Every structure is written in structure tokens, then in C-alpha cells.
């Protein structure tokens, strides 16, 4: 596998999207396993199989769905709708069907997008036994009346729900959760771009030991996240977990300190960050800072209990500090949940930009320490400690000196380096370097 550089990451992520695109994924089944097999070629995974019928919070793991073939054929045997051409052509979780019926009867089972007559919609029926086909409106308009052979070669049986984790070890056991969903079929932006960015983010973080431990979760949407939460109560500080220590944020009884959900990560729209339910979690402040200071076009949205799996992680019993990063949010672009969300819709440049923002944000998150000034009575003499001399060769010497004074002023155990950067208007990196110099001189302690 070629090494990852800033110049090649976008192209490599796009190649991964193209490779995953043909697979038929759902909330369970071999399509998820095949997806994780490919992801496992990029980063090592711990794969979990949870049996059908397992109680997970208020839900139950459903039966496993697999499909081999499906089609609608006309009187000549020609397949007018063919699952082999696109996994979107079948209503997700369709029960098996083998029948012949007139078009008038079949129409009630056909899903189209009249406003976009060349696109195929994505539709599912996970928890209610049903069957159907999705096709372009122009295809339906071209079908003459008559009988059609209908075939869905699928199984819906007791099996497993599959999800996987990858862990990048850090200097401390406290964790940052990075989650993406792996349950959608051929949709490039709405899940494959998020998977690709997560994979390459994990690889980038592993290049050096980060401060936090980073846990990457590749799971089916909703039911997968709920299953993971149910099986990780101690880690997330949820039911049956020990309460947090006095003064800690909600969810502090577990190891998860921060989190980010990745979705719709590859379209050409501007970046969008959806805040956690708290709205003032550290990840919220970090993302606001990084997006604003980078001067990238972006939006910051308030939390709503609708969207991706941030709504599971932020549910009141867990109340984790988990936000969501996307480009154009779910349902915010016409191609959403249609065949137009294909590899051409996502760009290497957009995915590379999403990856860069994640790396910048986690660098700030990792470096956001709180310190205590050990010489708080008046300004300590920095010159005799060689601190000013050490900065003499810098092009931003005055800014670096000012950063030292700000760090000394606000290192009271209550303010972190991000607080100092925000209040001073200085770059976070400059503040972090100043703190490192002061710590090395014994003037502050962490």
C-alpha cells in the first residue's frame, strides 16, 4: 500500500470509496462483513458478532439479512430492473419473493423519484417485513402493461449484527471516540466517504503516539451504535457504570472523554459541524476554534435529536461530548439517498480537506492541557531563565513572548490552553509552544 501523504491522501481515500461502492451493505449481513474485510486491509480491526435476539438497551438485535440476486423481468426474460446492476434496486431487507404479476399490481411495490427521473432512490424496511424495488422513473415510464416475473433471492434468518473497532493507543487511557456508519449500500458520500476519512485519520494518528487513545467504531447506523453502547457501559459511563468523579463532565464515569461522528464527508459543500447535545463540550469548542481560525467556509449547527449516531451517544443517559462533522449535512443535497450519490459526486480534494480538519482538531484536543502557575506572585523573571533568549531566532518572537505572559496569567488550573488561545487571540500552536517552554523551566505544572 502506498504511503499516505497530504498530496496523496485524497486520491487514496477516493480509491477506497470506489472499491467499497459496489458492495450491498445493510444493518446486518455479509455486505457489512465484506466492507470490514476491506477496511481491515488498511487498519487492523477487532470484529464483533452480536447474535440475533440480543437485548441492547430498548432494542433487540434483528435477524440477519442477505441477498444474492433480485430482478424484474419482462415477458421476453429481459431484466428491466436488476440488482446486479446496482444494490439500490432492491428495498433494503426485502423478504424473498418469487412470483409473476401484472404491472398494475407490481406498481405498489415500486419506488421512484419523479422529480429526478433518471435517479434510483434508496429505500429500506428494516423492522417491518416487506419487499419492493427501486428504479428510475424513466424506466418505469417505459414499461408496457403486462405480466412481469419478480424474483428476490434473499434470506432473513437468525444470525448476527457485525461491527468493528480499531484502537490507536495513546499516552493516557482516556478515549476519543470516532464513529462512522457502515450500513448503506452504494452511496458514496453518505457513508463511504466517512469510512474512508476515518480509516486514513486512524492511520495518520498512528504515525506518532497521540495523547488520548483513539477508538474508531465502524458500525451499522442506529442499531449498531445502540449495540455498542449497550456492550460498553463501563467505557461510556452509562447504565451500570460507576459515576463520574465530583466536578467532572457528564459521562466522565467512563473512558470516553470526547467524540466525533463522521458522515457525508466527501461532497464539495462547505464543512458543517453539529454540536453535541451539551453545546459546550470540549469537542464543540475545539471544532469551533479550528473551523473559525482556519478561515474555511463552514457552518456550526445546534444539536438536534435527528441525524446520525451522535444522537445515540448524546442521549441523556450517556450525554457524551460527541459532535458530528460533515460537509453538506444529511438530506441537505438533492443526491442524498439516491443513485446520484456515486463516486463522481465525492471528490478527493473534499475528503482530503475533511481529513485535514480532523487532524487539526485532534491536535488541539490532544494539546489542550490545564496548568498551574508555580510563580503566581508577580511576573517571574523570564530572561534569567533563558526563555527570551530561546525565542530570539523566531520570526514571531514578540508573539511568542506574549503567549508566555498569557499562559502565566491564566494558568490557574481552571483555564486550558484553548481558553488562553481564545482569550488572547493568539494561535493555539504558539500558546502550546509557550506552555511547553514554561513547563520545561519549572514555572508551571500540569
| Feature table: binding site for Zn(2+) | 184, 190, 337
Q: How far apart are CA 111 and CA 123, in angstroms?
A: 8
Determine how β-strand 175-181 pairs with β-strand 213-219: parallel
* Per-residue 3-state assignment (H helix, E strand, C coil) for 233-247: HHHHCCCCCCCCCCC
Q: How many CA atoms lie within 13 A of 313 on its CB side?
A: 33
Radius of gyration of the chain (CA): 25
Q: How far apart are CA 404 and CA 433, in angstroms?
A: 9
Q: What is the DSSP string of 284-353?
A: HHHHHHHHHHTT--EEEE---S-SSTHHHHTSTTT---EEEEESSPTT-STTTTBTTSSTTTS-HHHHHH
Residue 432 cell numbers, joined:
502550546
At 50 the three-state DSSP class reads strand
End-to-end CA distance of the chain: 40
Compute the residue count for the chain: 446
Q: How far apart are CA 17 and CA 285, in angstroms?
A: 30
Are 104 and 61 a contacting pair, CB within 8 Å? no
Are 244 and 253 a contacting pair, CB within 8 Å? yes
- Kindly give the residue spans of alpha helices, DSSP state H, lying in 122-219: 137-141, 194-205
247 burial (CB, 10 Å; 0-12 / 13-18 / 19+) is: exposed
At 87 the three-state DSSP class reads helix
Output the known binding site. Answer: 184, 190, 337
290 phi/psi in degrees, rounded to 5: -65, -45
**The dihedral formed by the CA atoms of 130, 132, 137 and 143, expressed in degrees to the nearest 10:** -140
Amino acid at each position: 500500500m502506498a504511503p499516505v501523504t497530504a498530496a496523496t491522501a485524497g486520491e487514496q481515500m477516493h480509491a477506497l470509496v470506489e472499491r467499497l461502492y459496489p458492495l450491498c451493505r445493510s444493518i446486518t449481513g455479509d455486505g457489512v462483513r465484506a466492507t470490514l474485510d476491506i477496511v481491515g486491509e488498511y487498519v487492523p480491526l477487532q470484529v464483533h458478532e452480536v447474535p440475533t435476539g440480543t437485548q441492547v438497551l430498548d432494542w433487540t438485535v434483528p435477524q440477519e439479512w442477505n441477498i444474492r440476486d433480485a430482478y424484474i423481468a419482462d415477458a421476453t426474460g429481459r431484466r428491466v430492473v436488476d440488482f446486479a446492476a446496482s444494490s439500490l434496486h432492491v428495498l433494503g431487507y426485502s423478504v424473498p419473493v418469487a412470483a409473476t404479476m401484472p404491472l398494475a399490481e407490481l406498481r405498489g411495490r415500486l419506488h421512484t423519484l419523479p422529480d429526478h427521473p433518471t435517479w434510483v432512490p434508496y429505500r429500506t424496511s428494516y423492522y417491518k417485513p416487506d419487499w419492493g424495488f427501486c428504479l428510475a422513473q424513466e424506466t418505469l415510464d417505459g414499461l408496457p402493461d403486462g405480466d412481469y416475473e419478480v424474483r428476490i433471492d434473499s434470506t432473513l434468518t437468525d444470525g448476527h449484527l457485525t461491527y468493528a473497532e480499531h484502537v490507536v493507543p495513546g499516552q493516557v487511557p482516556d478515549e476519543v471516540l470516532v464513529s462512522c456508519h457502515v450500513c448503506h449500500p452504494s452511496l458514496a458520500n453518505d457513508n463511504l466517504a466517512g469510512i474512508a476519512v476515518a480509516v486514513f485519520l486512524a492511520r495518520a494518528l498512528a504515525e506518532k503516539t497521540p495523547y488520548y487513545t483513539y477508538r474508531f467504531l465502524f458500525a451499522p447506523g442506529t442499531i449498531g451504535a445502540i449495540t455498542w453502547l449497550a456492550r460498553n457501559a463501563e467505557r461510556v459511563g452509562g447504565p451500570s457504570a460507576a459515576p463520574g468523579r465530583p466536578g467532572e463532565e457528564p459521562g466522565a464515569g467512563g473512558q470516553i472523554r470526547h467524540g466525533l461522528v463522521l458522515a457525508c464527508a466527501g461532497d464539495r459543500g462547505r464543512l458543517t459541524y453539529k454540536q453535541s447535545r451539551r453545546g459546550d463540550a470540549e469537542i464543540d469548542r475545539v471544532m469551533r476554534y479550528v473551523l473559525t481560525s482556519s478561515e474555511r467556509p463552514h457552518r456550526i449547527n445546534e444539536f438536534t435529536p435527528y441525524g446520525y449516531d451522535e444522537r445515540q451517544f448524546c442521549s441523556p443517559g450517556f450525554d457524551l461530548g460527541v459532535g458530528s462533522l460533515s460537509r453538506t449535512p444529511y438530506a441537505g443535497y438533492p443526491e442524498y439517498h439516491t443513485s446520484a450519490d456515486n463516486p463522481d459526486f465525492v471528490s478527493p480534494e473534499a475528503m482530503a480537506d475533511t481529513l485535514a480538519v480532523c487532524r487539526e482538531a485532534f491536535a488541539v484536543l490532544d494539546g489542550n492541557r490545564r496548568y498551574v502557575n508555580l510563580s503566581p506572585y508577580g511576573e517571574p523573571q523570564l530572561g534569567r531563565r533563558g526563555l527570551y533568549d530561546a525565542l530570539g531566532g523566531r520570526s514571531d518572537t514578540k508573539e511568542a513572548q506574549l503567549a508566555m505572559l498569557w499562559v502565566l496569567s491564566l494558568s490557574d488550573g481552571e483555564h486550558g490552553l484553548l481558553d488562553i488561545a481564545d482569550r488572547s487571540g493568539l494561535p493555539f500552536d504558539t500558546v502550546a509552544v509557550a506552555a511547553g517552554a514554561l513547563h520545561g523551566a519549572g514555572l508551571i505544572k500540569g
